[in-house]
Amino acid sequence: MTTPFSPDQAPHAEALHGLALTAGGGIGYSTDPVFAWNRWPAEGRRVWLVSGGGAGHEPMHAGFLGEGGLDVAVPGEVFTSPHNGQVVAAVEHVAEPGAEVLLIVKNYTGDVINFAIARERLEAKGYSVGTLVVDDDLGSEGAEAGRRGTGATVVLEKILGAAADAGQGLGELLELGRRVGARTRSLAVARAAHTRPGGGEGFEVEQGSLEYGVGIHGETAAETIADPGVEQLVGRMVDELLDSLGHEDAPAGADYVVMVNGLGGVSNLELSHIAAQAAAALRGRGAELASLVAGTYISALDMRGFSLTLTAADDAAWVGYWIAPHAAPGLPHPRIAEAAEDTGPRSANTGHEDGKGASSQWLDALAERFEGYREPLNALDQRSGDGDMGTNLSHGVRRAAERGAASPDEELDALASAFLDEVGGSSGPLFGLVLSELARAERRGEGVRAGLEAVQRVGGAKPGDRTMLDALAPAAEHEELDAAAVRAAVEGAASTKDLRGRRGRASYLGERVLGAPDPGAVAMALVLHAVAERDGVDLEGVDAAGLLG
Ligand code: ADP
Ligand code: MG
């Protein structure tokens, strides 16, 4: 069954309407037959750039319409070639017979056939037509029909758009396009298939596996591989792309234009990470980065995967076209890459390394114990929050252990500063406050009360709001942090399973949080238990870890 948000439920003609609305008047479109065009071409342009193919690869091609990009885009149904009649009608709409037209066609049978027929029909009407077939996909190297056309389409349409605006004629554009195309290769991988047009399941990728060399229409790849992790995966892809471009034989100093492209279901965060890995892999092979872009330019509906496209830059002139400004909503905005040393990380000196203490047995043991709490606490946080409470808590203790303490007297301070400085989430800094009050107070009982006050002051919650306060407040009713106080904290934490959330993420979930205790309250009980134990309190029969179920 498809859902209302399913990408195959978006009629592409209506999607064109949406695109036109967002383009502020620059993009016109027709629904019968379906095509779209740039309404504001550059003055110097003499050749009309036309491209098209099945829908489902947005922003390609209609998103590439605009000054510095395409003049005409002709989408078919999802993953289906447009009809040649659409192409003819689109060209006739923007250009008079006698005009020069360049058809940019991805190497897929349906596209090749329909654009070939369109070309003959246009020539018969007096247009002067050239065709550029894009065939860059290494994943289909050696196939009978030749390599498929994928990411190079973006590179070519960007470069040819700028070159056309510079006044180049059809012959020059064809030559430039062939040269850039011949030096461009792409490779794609997927962790999961896209939503299938018309419903039904796409190809299956087992957990821990990747389809390597996948196409952009849901065809499985030639190879299924065990996921080697992003670094190795990107390294392998860059290696194969460089090899196929003959990098070893390239004259020293060959530069590469690199495009990291999401296939529709990959976060921007991941794409930037992949970009960093790709730059490192190039460096590792002694290849220079001329320009790097990362984004979603040619998608496969919502496929969870990405492609890498490398172009060996033989000539600075077309790199200038690659980085030229443009007005197309979906084309990349490339820049010339900076040297690695200028883009490397800068770290603010927070002074953590100064005063690093000796390792502490207590902190080391605590780090190990809290590592064991990570998963169960995450599971509790998953029910009411975002599932990271255990990770936050064990990270804080681990960092304190790594920092160490100058003497046993400073172990609690070390714990407090690790939480204050380095642990995120809502709970990290609040634990930092409580721990610093516990470390600072003359008597531990006073520390618990000061901690309670501090958390209320900063977090604005009250006991009963289903937070860590529901463990802290009952403990604060005791004069000292003794066994009775820790037991009260454990019982308080357990009681949160009947409380609705009024603070933090749990507050958005109403009754859905009932039945399991608040992870922050459980963590507070565990922390108080650990501190009392360190003080030598006899905690026989006080089972804080039992809260984890
Ligand atoms: P985040 O919600 O940012 O992911 P964590 O997962 O680290 O934060 O911590 C969640 C815990 O933080 C909750 O279970 C709750 O006990 C505690 N918490 C959230 N908001 C407050 C608040 N205002 N006062 C006290 N504790 C809070
Ligand atoms: Mg959380």
Structural domains in the chain plus CATH codes: 11-188+214-322 (3.40.50.10440), 361-548 (1.25.40.340)
- Comparison of pLDDT for 309 and 252, the residue scoring more: 309
What's the average model confidence in pLDDT over 447-467?
Answer: 95
**Nearest ligand to the C-alpha atom of residue 509:** 1
According to the model, what pLDDT value does residue 37 have? 98
217 annotated active-site: yes
Give which of 416, 545, 525, 535 is closest to 475, Cα–Cα: 525
- Comparison of pLDDT for 426 and 97, the residue scoring more: 97
pLDDT band for 430, please (50, 70, 90 cuts): very high
- Token pair 């609305």 is found at 21
Phi, psi angles (nearest 5°) of residue 192: -155, 150
398 CA → ligand 1 middle, Å: 20
**Nearest ligand to the C-alpha atom of residue 504:** 1
Give the type of residue at 440: R
Q: CA neighbours within 13 Å on the CB side: how many for 148?
A: 19
Q: At what angle do helices 152-165 and 170-182 cross, to 10 degrees?
A: 150
Phi, psi angles (nearest 5°) of residue 462: -120, 160
Per-chain mean pLDDT for the chain: 92
CA–CA dist 146, 92 (Å, integer): 31
CA–CA dist 181, 311 (Å, integer): 8
Q: Kindly tell me if the per-residue pLDDT of 341 is higher than 70.
A: no
What's the average model confidence in pLDDT over 78-93?
Answer: 96
CA–CA dist 76, 3 (Å, integer): 22
Cβ of residue 229 lying under 6 Å from some atom of ligand 1? no
According to the model, what pLDDT value does residue 5 have? 58
Q: At what angle do helices 444-459 and 427-440 cross, to 10 degrees?
A: 150
Q: Going by CA atoms, what residue is nearest to atom 11 of ligand 1? A: 520
Give which of 441, 440, 438, 421 is closest to 429, Cα–Cα: 421
What's the average model confidence in pLDDT over 86-115?
Answer: 97
According to the model, what pLDDT value does residue 61 have? 96
Residues with CB under 5 Å of ion ligand 2 are 381, 385-386, 388-389
366 CA → ligand 1 middle, Å: 21
**Nearest ligand to the C-alpha atom of residue 423:** 1
Index of the ligand 1 atom closest to the CA of residue 385: 2
Cβ of residue 522 lying under 6 Å from some atom of ligand 1? no
Cβ of residue 388 lying under 6 Å from some atom of ligand 1? yes
pLDDT band for 201, please (50, 70, 90 cuts): low
pLDDT band for 2, please (50, 70, 90 cuts): very low
Q: Going by CA atoms, what residue is nearest to atom 13 of ligand 1? A: 520
What's the average model confidence in pLDDT over 92-120?
Answer: 97
- Hey, which of 391, 420, 427 would you mutate to test ligand 1's pocket, going by the most ligand atoms within 8 Å of its Cβ? 427
Q: Kindly tell me if the per-residue pLDDT of 1 is higher than 90.
A: no
Cβ of residue 505 lying under 6 Å from some atom of ligand 1? yes
Q: Are 429 and 420 in contact (CB under 8 A)?
A: yes
Q: Are 393 and 519 in contact (CB under 8 A)?
A: no
- Token pair 């099945």 is found at 54
Give which of 34, 38, 105 is closest to 65, Cα–Cα: 38
Index of the ligand 1 atom closest to the CA of residue 392: 7
Index of the ligand 1 atom closest to the CA of residue 425: 3
Q: Are 508 and 457 in contact (CB under 8 A)?
A: no
Q: Residue 452 belongs to what H/E stretch? A: helix 444-459
What's the average model confidence in pLDDT over 242-258?
Answer: 83
Q: Kindly tell me if the per-residue pLDDT of 253 is higher than 60.
A: no
Cβ of residue 385 lying under 6 Å from some atom of ligand 1? yes
According to the model, what pLDDT value does residue 3 have? 46
What's the average model confidence in pLDDT over 252-263?
Answer: 88
Q: Residue 184 belongs to what H/E stretch? A: strand 184-192
Beta strand 209-212 pairing with 184-192: antiparallel
pLDDT in tens, 364-398: 999 999 999 999 999 999 987 789 999 999 999 99
* Active-site position among 61, 83, 194, 217: 217
Helices (H), 73-135: 84-94, 109-124
